[in-house]
Amino acid sequence: MLYTYSGRSSMELRKIMNMRKNLCNCADDMSGAQVYRKTVTIRAIQMDRPFAVQTPHGLVQGQKGDYLCANMNDTDRWPVKKEIFEATHKCQHMNREVYNDAVPGAIRYYRCLDCGHKWEI
């Protein structure tokens, strides 16, 4: 499945910017800086059992129901807690089929096989 990460909230980014400003003691005044959101497409699968994955930060554990994520090149993998993943990612509806409600003359839809979302053709 393909998902888009919606990035961090502006409040989280402000906290990070303030922490970095305090740590680096740089001369730049960041008080007027704009806050930006990064959008990245990833692949992810919800795991049906506990798992472990090797990351640059070491071996990281994931629980049943968490998501195993990978970048599009499959060079990096990482686990994401179910609650966080479902609040910050949305399905890109790449795996879809034509669907109608089995009623003659009914409107035809595409239906995403990953998340169940439907939209009119």
Range of the domain at 73: 2-94
Q: Is residue 106 part of a domain?
A: no
Q: Is residue 110 part of a domain?
A: no
Measured CA to CA, the distance from residue 100 to residue 93 in angstroms comes to: 17
Question: For the chain, what is the domain count?
Answer: 1
Give 116's pLDDT tier (boundaries 50, 70, 90): confident
Q: Is residue 82 part of a domain?
A: yes
* Structural contact between residues 8 and 49, judged by C-beta atoms closer than 8 angstroms: no
Please, which residues bridge with residue 40 across strands?
5
**pTM for the predicted model, two decimal places:** 0.57
Question: What pLDDT, on a 0 to 100 scale, did the predictor assign at position 39?
Answer: 77
First to last CA, the chain: 21
- Predicted confidence (pLDDT) per residue in 69-95, tens digit: 998 888 899 999 999 988 888 887 777
Q: Is residue 36 part of a domain?
A: yes
What is the spatial order of strands in the sheet that 109-112 belongs to? 96-99, 109-112, 118-120
Q: Is residue 69 part of a domain?
A: yes
